Structure 1
């Protein structure tokens, strides 16, 4: 996502045009409709589905709700991810001569990067479960088709983008479509700010239709495009100047995916991001750091308090000809220079001030003094407060604090596992939800391939199992010790040992087995160079034996001993 590509959505999440008008930490942040899942009675949808105009009108109503209530939340979360926190728009009401720094803490980016890398840093493996009643060639063909699809669509990176959107906004969308002039299925992540799915009112919550709407700003003019996906048709509507304009059908095409080709993934049952519930704590840290910077700056610009008089030079006033100007008594007029009290000067010349009319009418001398008026800065207390808030964020989001000097110093694998235990519990739930989305993707692909007679049965897709490998920091020597220990017991297969060693070697167990078989085969056949030396050696031995054998042609048969 890029904010410049959706400026309307961006401005809906900030106090535009009154920039500094956000009252921070004052109550509920988003509307109750900001994370609502859209539903519609199926019988009503069946009425409007055959009519593109009626379907467009229904979609327009949902688009208005989405743009008004949901986009501000989504864009706010994305702003926090890129460091554009609400502190930038805080109504601090500071006077113009006071420091007003706005410092953000980018916890959103840090937490999302760690969690996305942990979940999707290692590619997902798609494993076909063995079934004796199915043709092995069909299984291999399906595996090859899925591998080819994943390779052409950079599936590994696609999962990372989906994971990032889930971590930030609590939901992610992907679109399956057919590449132009081909029969190849393509995969694309869709920005949650520009997409939503409408479900039916049944217990299964089937997708009725999905809407993808977006704008392009060209030559100072907005062009809004809307596409509606149903279970069998894609409707393209003409561009308009506003997102809430009446939708007029441009063209429609059928598809063979057998269901709505946009799939919604959710991060959790609440459809919340990984750190969304800690926005208030992030704001508290931003305010604290900003106010600390303000205090430091105000300290540097402290008020200079001066008592007494300035010892400044005096000079005789002269006219344009350089002659002294006299007063009415004929005395030269003396002018006193104005004191220079700039804080940039490193010296001040002061003298006692003489006050007339003091006690008993006698003059009183006031000794000179100069000092800054400052307030006490409790830097240590400030640090304890901010550190406590930061620790709370890491604890509540199950995110390890990598800045902690005790986090990974001489940490064993078991200790590291305990540090990531909370994150693992969360990951287990999120992987289950993510697998739902992947299986829907596979079913859609299976429906299309079945239409093309590329697979014999769509139910074959149910036998594909996504396997996740957490991207953990690893101790190679410890893994080698474990693998060696397992092998020495004699109770574990070589394939199990090779699977354990894959995290070190980067070689899949099957490939490793092929390498071993190849080496064993070469050893059995013998090295060609060694064969040549062995053959030469055998020939030499034969020559020596021939020299020792008696020559029958030279033996006299009548010769006796």
Structure 2
């Protein structure tokens, strides 16, 4: 697609260019839309749902089959299971956006990111982006300025986007297009479908429209988007831009056909033929049978039975199991309802079972991080104009991902205790699943140290403490804290606490004066 970049650099955007881009990317965009419709189990997108009954050529009008009308179309949305498992595993715990809060120059940036995340519900935004990325191979995100002057973000359907990049990386675009259709009412109130194409570059947003497909696009609006980079970018699933189920759709179709055919066989049992041995039946006998349900057998060797098919259910079961196993293995997914996940598996054993899924998520995690880094590069270009940060401060934002799996808190606590003193507290705390924000946790630990450690405030007249249990500071402070007696500031004598726990007033036995408790 670099030829289009060169063309735009030299000649700008022309109606001819827009027509070529829309036509050339049509098949790729339709494929991504088909994947999404299949995820939603749309009738037209799932092959088994449109399967017709087998038309047997009987060649004899007098003979009619009664079993060819059974046509079960059972959809097993294993592709949706693959996607949902990955999204829940990777985005069940929200991504943490980390900025060094101790650096004074980054304080405003940290506050701006927190506000941006809250205003745009970034937890949900990341999850939806991850879902469409896993389904279609990549998702798109658009940054814009709302009417209140706030930076906003929204997910754009990947089948509506055309991204041009000099590096072939959709997360680093030079130009981007959004192509979609909208409905408007004409002067007579009739609904008219209009094609819209929005072009984005580093400074400008241009809106083109057309009503007739054979007519050229016409420029309708042009405005500045207030960023210094292209605000429409992609979030790739992998370098090949393939969805998680792209390689196993044929296997899923085979699973659907096998299960549907097995269900057909079960239903056809009730369409079996009646065999009469040693006797015949005319129309009168058939009518009598339908009315009474009684047979009269006169001969010694007369017999009646149904002619049925023998169904090898074990073969069907083995075939379905093999198909499911191959689907999950080749898609690098897992079935958490499988009995192999039952019991008290150790953390290491669980990680081996999840290794394929984890490797796939690691690839997407790196791609997602690259896209998020570009996102904050664009945002920092706007925040720099407001004096919040510099243009290069997007490099000081870090992203932490935590997998959504059952936590073995005891093992983590034991490992954390063993690491104490061997690594920094920040590193040690970051390995605990229950700690979402390491900086916040360190601040809370400092507060606890002041409240419950050596800096604990005096508790007042609530009984005495043993000297062995008191903090060992100065000798006079130790003796003062071990009882309810304090030191008078006027004469240095001892006094009795006469007020409540929160009061610091004393009455001195020696001089009779009152003063403040000396720490």
Q: Give me the TM-score of the superposition, normalised by structure 1.
A: 0.73
For 2:476, the equivalent position in structure 1 comes to none
- Tell me: CA distance 1:346–1:513, structure 2 relative to 1, closer, same or farther (3 Å): farther
- Answer yes or no: is 1:140 the counterpart of 2:140: no
User: What are the superposed Cα offsets for residues 148-195 of structure 1, whole Å, 9 maximum, x if unpaired?
Assistant: 111111112111111111111111110011112x32111111001211
CA contact under 8 A between 1:40 and 1:199: conserved in structure 2? no
1:239 deviates by 5.6
Residue pairs, 1:196-275, within 5 angstroms: 196-200=162-166, 207-217=173-183, 221-238=192-209, 240=211, 242=213, 245-275=215-245
How much has 1:534 moved relative to structure 2? 3.3
Q: For 1:266 and 1:238, locate their aligned partners in 2 and report how far apart those are by CA, in whole Å.
A: 28
CA distance in 2, matches of 1:525, 1:407: 47
Instruction: Summarize the Cα distance change of 1:40–1:426 in structure 2 as closer, same or farther, 3 Å threshold.
Output: same
Other-structure match for 1:179: 146
* Larger CA deviation: 527-536 vs 285-294: 527-536
1:471 to 404, 414, 425: 404
Partner of 2:34: 76
Which residue of the other structure, out of 437, 440, 456, is the alignment partner of 2:371? 437
Shift of 1:282: 0.4
Aligned to 1:511: 440
Aligned counterpart for 1:87 among listed residues 41, 44, 48: 48
SS at match of 2:36: helix
How far is the alpha carbon of 1:225 from its aligned partner? 2.6
Q: Distance in 2 between matches of 1:61 and 1:201?
A: 21
Once the two structures are TM-superposed, the CA of residue 339 in structure 1 deviates from its matched residue by: 2.1
1:328: which partner in 2? none
Alignment partners' CA distance in 1, 2:360 and 2:155: 23
Match in the other structure for 1:44: 7
Going from structure 1 to structure 2, the CA distance change for 1:66 and 1:496 (only over 3 Å counts) comes to closer
Q: Which has the larger radius of gyration?
A: 1
Q: Which residue of 2 aligns with 1:25?
A: none
Aligned counterpart, 2:326:
392
Residue 534 (1) aligns with residue 484 (2): yes
Question: Following the alignment from structure 1 to structure 2, what is the Cα–Cα distance between the partners of residues 74 and 263?
Answer: 16
- Displacement of 1:507 in angstroms is 5.6
- Among 485, 508, 521, the alignment partner of 2:450 is 521
Alignment partner of 1:538: what SS? Answer: strand
For residues 247-306 of structure 1, what are the alpha-carbon distances to aligned partners after superposition, in whole Å with 9 as ceiling and x for unaligned?
Answer: 111110012322221111211121111111001110110010000001111112212233
Distance 1:174 1:138, change over 3 A: same
SS at match of 2:340: coil
Q: Distance in 1 between matches of 2:171 and 2:6?
A: 14
Q: How many residues align?
A: 456
Return the match for 1:482 from 409, 415, 435: 415
One of 429, 432, 437 as aligned partner of 1:498? 429
Residue equivalent to 1:113: 84
Q: Distance in 1 between matches of 2:7 and 2:508?
A: 102
The residue that corresponds to 1:427 in the other structure is: 361
TM-score (norm 2): 0.79
The unaligned stretches of length 5 or more in structure 1 are 1-37, 313-335, 353-364, 547-561
Match of 2:392 among 456, 459, 468: 459
Task: Check conservation: 1:41, 1:200, Cα contact below 8 A.
Answer: no
